[in-house]
Copies of this chain bind each other. A is one copy, B any other.
Amino acid sequence: MSETLSIYNTLTRKNEIFTPLYHGMVGMYVCGPTVYNNAHLGNARTFISFDVVFRYLQHLGYKVRYVRNITDAGHLESDADEGEDKISKKAKLEQLEPMEIVQRYTIDFHDVMRAFNTLSPSIEPTATGHIIEQIEMTKQIIANGFAYEVNGSVYFDVTKFAQTHPYTALSNRNLDDLLNNTRELDGQDEKRGRLDFALWIKAKPEHIMRWPSPWGQGFPGWHLECSAMSRKYLGDVFDIHGGGMDLIPTHHTNEVAQNVACTGQHHPVKYWMHTNMLTVNGQKMSKSLGNSFLPLELFTGSHALLDKGYSPMTVRFFMLQAHYRSTLDFSNEALLAAEKGFARLMNAIRLIDSLKTGAATTSNIELLKQNVYAAMNDDFNTPIALAHLFEAVRIINSVNDGKETLSEADKQTLKKLMHEMVFDVLGLREEQAINTDKIDGLMQMILDQRKDAKARKDFASSDLIRDKLKELGFEIKDGKDGTTYSIV
């Protein structure tokens, strides 16, 4: 079925049949987080979306090399090469060495990714781990005539590049409009053109993160790391490049320019994929509006806009109910509905094994399966795939209620489809939140039963309960103030 996979390509603005550069193999690069703060929900959506892409491509039999970087240096506060390095600034605020900041928020990011059951990428390179490669690339771009050095910094010459290359192809903007919307250079500016951007930035004396280079002590520009790392691990031309759509006009546009200027390959990326933004009750999610919450706040419900907490799997399920190219709107109502829907889905899957089978099947299971794959093959359309999977849920419940019948062969097809799609491809799983509270609650019910039995002098029953608990690995002990239990 892999022949029919189509992907919406931001570059061509249409759905295209997916044909990898090398038969059976896929190279995919996704721009990862800047680890100067807790992982935010927009990032989480992007990485969950590409996790499904990664999973589905593997499910189709491709060998995928999935590279997702960690930005641990060079990301300035503003896209216009102004302000401080985000990590150095945070390090000063928290009185920590920058790499302590990096460590703290890399761990937080991985924790969130694990909670969401995303697979680790094949390689997770860091910007600081590729300073040499970035310096080499800068040297090559200068040698090719598309960059210039001023006072220890190196800038990419967009004006020159745009004369011979479609600089705005990815964003589909008009170059003149873009120029008119960018502030004019003043006398202080080292840049020659308004759209020029830094490849290498001279370190001010107080800047902590710095490396020696042919242009003196400095650090790489943010856009450069992704060019250097995607080339190193995927080659000069590779299959898929992904990220949030906010990255299109500057970061990804400049990434392409760097790659082209360095290698001379006009199309370094075959398919560009971008995820859409998050909204809250219809409004754009943003820190300044106060309507942005962190994954952890969503899990615990500790944000004024949230009625309660929602489990990571509920949130993942909720996200997959929207297509990755659509905006995704958070509201308590929608999250509550997702919670119910997810529980329904899991309960149905749990029921499959116990379904009684008969001679014939009243539903068309093969068609159902085709519909699910058709949805996934249509640019990873998870909401449509889920709708078909809920048709399967309906059938399972109906067979369980004795209202429909299922042959043994179809039951096995259904089971395989549900397991592969829900667990392997969509990356959902049973919540592991079976907590001590639940054990405590059940145990209390049983100990109360035992107390009643003892009260009516039914010692056979009370001893039986003790023995059964022991079999399960619980030791109980009667004391003056009631019965306590321990896990042995």
Which A residues lie at the B interface, using CB under 8 A?
65, 97, 99-100, 102-103, 107, 110, 120-126, 128-129, 131-132, 136, 211-212, 233, 343, 346-347, 350-351, 354, 356, 400, 402, 430-431, 434-439, 441-443, 445-446, 449, 465, 468-469, 471-474, 479-481, 484, 486-488
Contacts and interface: CB of A to CB of B under 8 A. Distances in A.
Given A343-B486, A449-B449, 5 more contacts: A97-B233, A102-B123, A132-B211, A354-B484, A442-B442
A303 B480 CA distance: 45
Copies in the complex: 2
B120 A107 contact: yes
A122 B100 contact: yes
A479 B400 contact: yes
B442 A434 contact: no
A430 B436 CA distance: 11
A439 B436 CA distance: 10
Given A99-B233, A351-B484, A400-B479, A445 B465 contact: yes
B128 A131 contact: no
Contact of A442 (B347, B351, B439): B439
10 contacts: A97-B123, A99-B233, A110-B110, A126-B129, A129-B129, A136-B212, A438-B439, A441-B471, A442-B443, A442-B446
A434 B445 contact: no
Contacts of A481: 354, 356
A106 B73 CA distance: 21
B438 A212 contact: no
Nearest to A124: B103
Contacts of A99: 123, 125, 233
A472 B434 CA distance: 11
B487 A431 contact: yes
A388 B431 CA distance: 40
A122 to B, nearest CB: 5
Interface core residue of A129, A400, A435, A469 (most chain B CB under 10 Å): A129
B486 A347 contact: yes
Contacts of A430: 436
Contacts of A350: 484, 486
Contacts of A132: 131-132, 211-212
Nearest to A211: B132
Report, nearest first, the 10 A-B pairs whose CB atoms are least far apart: A129-B129, A441-B472, A442-B442, A347-B486, A99-B123, A100-B122, A128-B129, A132-B211, A103-B123, A107-B120
Contact of A439 (B65, B107, B356, B434): B434
B438 A472 contact: yes
Contacts of A479: 400
Contacts of A107: 120
A11 B133 CA distance: 40
A17 B479 CA distance: 48
A47 to B, nearest CB: 15
Contacts of A434: 434-436, 439, 487
A471 B445 CA distance: 12
A391 to B, nearest CB: 20
A487 B443 CA distance: 17
Contacts of A472: 437-438, 441-442
A103 B131 contact: no
Interface core residue of A123, A437, A443 (most chain B CB under 10 Å): A123
Contacts of A123: 97, 99-100, 102-103
A123 B72 CA distance: 12
Contacts of A97: 65, 122-123, 233
Nearest to A464: B445
A401 B470 CA distance: 21
Contacts of A469: 445
A487 B343 contact: yes
Contacts of A439: 434, 438-439, 442
Contacts of A443: 442
Contacts of A233: 97, 99
A110 to B, nearest CB: 8
A103 B129 contact: no
